[in-house]
Structure 1
Amino acid sequence: MTTHAQVVVVGGGVIGLSIAYHLAEAGVGTMLLERDALGSGASRATADVVRAYFAGNPVSSAMAVRSLSAYRDFSIRPGLDLPLRRVGYLVLFTEQHQIAAFEADLPAQRAAGVDVELIDADQARRLNPLISGDLPLLAAAWSAEAYVSDTAAIVDGYAEAARRAGARLLTGVPVTAIDADAGRVETAGGAITADAVVCAAGAWSAPLARSAGVDLPLTEPIVQELLTTDPLPPMPDIPITLHAASGLLVRMRGDGLLIGMGYPGPDRGAWRRRVAAQLAVVYPSLTGSGLYTAVTGVRDASPDRTAFIGHLPGPPAFLYAAGFSGHGLCNAPAAGELVRDLYLGKDPGFDTTMLTARPDRVG
């Protein structure tokens, strides 16, 4: 294994791969280290959804707007095709305070470039006819710019683009510590020195960043699980739909539904029963449908559900991109661009101070 690189990126999920691609494309000698296989952490447990609207979080929304533009242009840059099926994103409001929160948040969302509007219950049911007629639906948020993609294709696309640009991607290389002052990355196979180190290790980022002198107050690694149903009768595609009160999220996947609702916790059986009960309330036609594990993966989260992106200037420099809180797929292109620009000392066209691990976010 090479013992020196200009920049070492730690983490081979969609965030780390986007960073490696954007650095290598800019002519930076880049080595990426992944403890397992590429895309084997949080990138393995996504709903394959890319969207721009994140309620109450205009910073993530702004990054997602920028990222969505990059995904649309993926066939041009880096020059690889991605599946993108436009279905829209629908958020169901059953309580008056949810509507008030949406209206208070709307100016910031519009300023972030998000196309979202409030629609009435009848319009929401026309968009998603599976919604129960008995659900006390008051209104809904509707964002047409939401797509179903393929996370594995995005991971593979960034990996291929990074290799084409000259990056070295090494798997099966767990990183045990980062000495930012020395520009030194410790691995099970020996040490690697670098002019800069980027920590993008997802759920494993906090202890690595701490060893480099940065406190990222991430949650303990959380296991995410998404479910799928029995095959359903033929029906038109429906929007990605979130029931705001319960967090129940559904979208079409093949001839069934893909379903998420929070995190399972230690009692997966009880969690699955809660999902089935909520599914019957919002979508009664699905009552009794079998629920089966679709994907699982380990995810990290930040206290305010906004990513940490920042750097300690060098040389050697230390940069970090973690805590995406389930938004990683939607934020990955922008994250790669921001880390590249921070390393190069360029204006990223984005106020990165909103993303740094500053005291008011660390707690």
Structure 2
Amino acid sequence: MSRPHRPADPAVVIGGGVVGLSAACHLAEAGVRTVLLERDELGSGASRATADVVRTYFPGNPVASAMAVRSLAAYRAFADRAGTAVPLRRVGYLVLFGEAEQAAACEADLPAQRAAGVEVELIGADEARRRNPLLGDVPLVAAAWSPDAYVTDTAAIVGGFAEAARRAGAELRTGCPVKAVDIEAGRLDTGDGPLAAHAVVCAAGAWSAPLARSAGVELPLGDPVEQELLACGRPPSGVPVPDVPMTLHAASGLLVRKRGDGLLVGMGCPGADRDGWRARVRERLAEVYPALAGAEVRTAFTGVRDASPDRTEFIGRLPGPIPFLYAAGFSGHGLCTAPAAGELVRDLYSGRTPDIDAARLAAVPERT
């Protein structure tokens, strides 16, 4: 049975990762009484397994790129919100194309990327090898180069958003899982008992789909996946890895960035055969970067994340007895777009026309 709207009840944000914290922070700063519920500790889900990189270029996805451009501006001004700046060490982002078709697709995408505010260009193979001298003799016809990629500190961003949210009046509860959402009654079933809400924001990462389903909302998310990043140590030669940009080998999905004397390495998700996946990563790493053949490779971070069909986040609002908002499907790049996602959640909550084209991000789910 539905009940009337009660402004004294809080807006409840489910999820204490960087996206949920951004949403809670933006709502609280707008004067909304806000409670955030996190099942574990803040930043313990997908936010725990990031490459600590924010970038603006998302190949073939100008919507995410526009969100990332807006978010980078927010990170540059983060001290104004959180009281402390976050580190931003510029490294750039290099995407390697081994086939002419990949380079052509990149070139066709450039106008939309630049319209989104991204600085990116298509460069030749020689220039790509100059930017990343570790590259071996792999097929390479061209590369995309975007200078706006920065090594940062995810924990500092999580902590900064949490501090800013608290200062704005938000209540952050950890160790408080949400079991179900009853939109009709305006109530959440939590580990601390029932909690009334006048609005709900689902930003629970890998747990978003089942929580939304309990509220009668079907978000088109795939099954949660476990992300793993590997640490590759110093090359067997003993020579430290040079300063190289964050580099994506488009054909294999191998992604690396400089970390200490070695590299931080990712290549999709392990799946059930984790040992087989690690063996494939080592093989591809040695092929693309021969100097690293035989280097020690071990687990650096793991975390569970959600995934949308096209890796574009879903952000929207559904009308009902109480508003139900969602920010999910970030597919591992929530750190890059979290500030803009929080702004969009705030605007959708308040009924303001967002600066971002919200219609392009709505999941358009149906109630079950």
Per the TM superposition, whether the score is higher than 0.5 is: yes
The 10-residue stretch of structure 1 (289-298 or 313-322) with the greater mean CA deviation from structure 2: 313-322
Q: Is it true that 1:193 corresponds to 2:196 in the alignment?
A: yes
The alignment's TM-score, normalised by the length of structure 2, stands at 0.94
- Contact 1:222–1:299 under 8 Å retained in 2: yes
Q: How many aligned positions are there?
A: 357
- Structure 1 unaligned spans of 5+: none
- Structure 2 equivalent of residue 340 of structure 1: 346
1:81, CA displacement in angstroms?
1.4
CA distance in 2, matches of 1:312, 1:230: 48
Comparing 179-188 with 139-148, which one deviates more in the overlay?
179-188
Question: Alpha-carbon deviation of 1:79?
Answer: 2.8
| 2:65 is aligned with 1:61 | yes
- Matches of 1:287 and 1:296 in 2, distance apart? 23
Corresponding residue for residue 23 of structure 2: 19
Residue 78 of structure 2 aligns to a residue in which SS? coil
The aligned residue for residue 257 of structure 1 is 263
Higher deviation after alignment, 24-33 or 179-188: 179-188
1:148 aligned onto 2:151? yes
Distance apart, 1:77 and its partner CA = 2.7
Deviations along 1:276-330, one digit per CA (max 9) or x if unpaired, are 1101111000000111000000010011211111111355211100000111111
Aligned residue among 205, 230, 233 for 1:202? 205
Q: How far apart, in 2, do the equivalents of 1:216 and 1:78 lie?
A: 32
* 2:3 alignment counterpart: none
Length-normalised TM-score, structure 1: 0.96
Counterpart CA distance in 2 for 1:37 and 1:5 is: 24
Give the match for residue 106 of structure 2.
Answer: 102
CA distance in 2, matches of 1:265, 1:241: 23
1:10 corresponds in structure 2 to 14
CA shift, 1:217, in A, is 1.5
**What is the Cα deviation at residue 219 of structure 1?**
1.1
Give the CA deviation at 1:235.
Answer: 4.5
Q: Is 1:221–1:299's contact at 8 Å kept on the other side of the alignment?
A: yes
Structure 2: gaps of 5 or more residues: 1-7
Alignment of 1:236-275 (within 5 A): 236-275=242-281
Residue 197 of structure 1 aligns to a residue whose secondary structure is strand
- Distance (Å, rounded) in 2 between the aligned partners of 1:323 and 1:162: 23
- TM-fit CA distance, 1:90: 0.2
Q: Describe the SS at the equivalent of 2:326.
A: strand
> Are the counterparts in 1 of residues 312 and 331 from structure 2 also a CA contact under 8 Å?
yes
Partner Cα separation in structure 2 for residue 279 and residue 335 of structure 1: 34
Query: Which of these residues, 293, 296, 301, is aligned with residue 287 of structure 1?
Result: 293
Matches within 5 A, 1:97-246: 97-132=101-136, 134-232=137-235, 233-246=239-252
**Backbone CA RMSD of aligned residues:** 1.5
Per-residue deviation, residues 150-209 of structure 1 (Å, max 9, x unmatched) = 111111111111111111000000101111122211112211111101000000000111
More displaced stretch, 292-301 vs 100-109: 100-109
Preserved CA contact (<8 Å) 2:55 2:93: yes
Q: Contact 1:183–1:317 at 8 Å: present in 2 too? A: no
What's 1:80 paired with?
84
Greater shift, 315-324 or 169-178, is seen at: 315-324
Q: Percent identity?
A: 71
- Contact 2:90/2:151 (8 A) holds in 1: yes
Asked if the contact 1:229–1:292 (Cα under 8 Å) also holds between the matched residues in 2, the reply is yes
Counterpart CA distance in 2 for 1:156 and 1:83 is 13
SS at the partner of 1:50? Answer: strand
